Amino acid sequence: MNDAPFNVLVNDIVRALLAHRTFRSFDPEAEIPDDEVMVIVRAGQQAPTSCTGQMYTVINISREKRAEVFNHCGKQSFVMEASHFFIICVDLHRLFAIVDRVGGTNRKWPLAALQIGIFDAGLMAQNMTIAAEAMGYGTAFCGSCGDRPEELIEVLKLPKYVVPLTGLAIGVPTEDPPTRPRLPTSMVFHKDEYREYLIEELEAGIDEMDVFLRAEGYYSKYSGKEDYGWRDHMKNKFGGKWLETVEKRRREALQRQGFL
Ligand SMILES: Cc1cc2nc3c(=O)[nH]c(=O)nc-3n(C[C@H](O)[C@H](O)[C@H](O)COP(=O)(O)O)c2cc1C
């Protein structure tokens, strides 16, 4: 795929990490047993956590409540199909309650709270993902959950200092997609100091992503976009209007929840 030295790998865990791919089609009849779900969540909890603060809460969205949440998560079909759908929240509410109990008073660090909370919650989410994949299930993050936070905050009754970060679907997959490309490791792995990019290197990276994803038919398969590749996707997602709209909604929700 690219320039990582795959031949030196001997460890099953690393091999599983390198085999990760997002699944977007699940058997809607398949149910993950409760004890396995608890193992997945417990594995999430064991992720490193800043100052042991554990600034996250995971909300398990039952099949009964799924349709309501689906409407605020980009209406992506895998949300409805997956055995389990979790909303992973950055949560400072519980930590502040604990800090109150132990006599702490200073909360004048909302931006730091957001940064370390997002990191904690992200690690938790990724540990759950790895555990679920190691147990043979497929996973899909649903970042769209953070795009309409106001609605989700209402539906999930999130108190102040709690915001939805991402959804995570886990289930029995009904598709077998390939592993997707990444930029060449040499582009993201620098030595001693930041190294600026040559245009040729950027173009080579773009091409590498574009060729692989087009060959899979990634964007036509999941979004119905024909003759569309990574080049177009980066332009539209990160260089178009979409994130500007999302930014406004996210900012308002963060203000409402006490982070800004
Ligand atoms: C925070 C986050 C949010 C994501 N949100 C979505 C989403 O809403 N819908 C979706 O289909 N994929 C989503 N993804 C999956 C990415 O699109 C996927 O990881 C990326 O295209 C690379 O593909 P791979 O995971 O198969 O390697 C998300 C991934 C992350 C990390």
Q: What is the pLDDT of residue 148?
A: 85
CA of 66 to the centre of ligand 1 (A): 20
Verify whether ligand 1 is closer than 6 Å to residue 71 (CB atom). Answer: no
What is the pLDDT averaged over residues 66-93? 97
Residue 2 has pLDDT above 80, yes or no: no
- State which ligand 1 atom lies nearest to the alpha carbon of 78: 11
- Angstrom CA distances, 193 to 190, 196, 198, stand at 7, 10, 16
What is the pLDDT averaged over residues 184-212? 98
Residue 171 — very low, low, confident or very high, per pLDDT cuts 50/70/90? Answer: very high
Residue in 124, 141, 165 to alter for ligand 1 test, most ligand atoms within 8 A of Cβ: 141
Residue in 142, 170, 219, 237 to alter for ligand 1 test, most ligand atoms within 8 A of Cβ: 142
- State which ligand 1 atom lies nearest to the alpha carbon of 20: 27
Q: What is the pLDDT of residue 134?
A: 95
- For the whole model, what pTM was predicted? 0.96
Share above pLDDT 90 across residues of the chain, in percent, rounded to a whole number: 91
Domain parsing of the chain, residue ranges: 10-177, 180-247
Superfamily of domain 10-177: NADH Oxidase (3.40.109.10)
- State which ligand 1 atom lies nearest to the alpha carbon of 74: 8
Residue 70 has pLDDT above 70, yes or no: yes
CA of 168 to the centre of ligand 1 (A): 10
Residue 228 has pLDDT above 70, yes or no: yes
197 DSSP assignment: P
Residue nearest atom 29 of ligand 1, based on CA coordinates: 141
Spell out where the chain has E strands.
Answer: 56-61, 84-91, 138-142, 162-171
Residue 79 CA, chain-centre distance (Å), reads 13
6 DSSP assignment: G
CA of 102 to the centre of ligand 1 (A): 39
* pLDDT tens digits for range 238-256: 999 989 989 999 999 999 9
Q: What is the pLDDT of residue 5?
A: 67
Q: What is the pLDDT of residue 4?
A: 64
- SS3 of 100-146: HHCCCCCCCCHHHHHHHHHHHHHHHHHHHHHHHHHCCCEEEEEHHHH
* pLDDT tens digits for range 91-104: 999 999 999 999 99
Residue nearest atom 31 of ligand 1, based on CA coordinates: 141
What is the pLDDT averaged over residues 86-92? 98
Share above pLDDT 70 across residues of the chain, in percent, rounded to a whole number: 97
Average pLDDT taken over every residue of the chain: 95
Q: What residues contact 36, with CB distance under 8 A and at least 6 apart?
A: 135
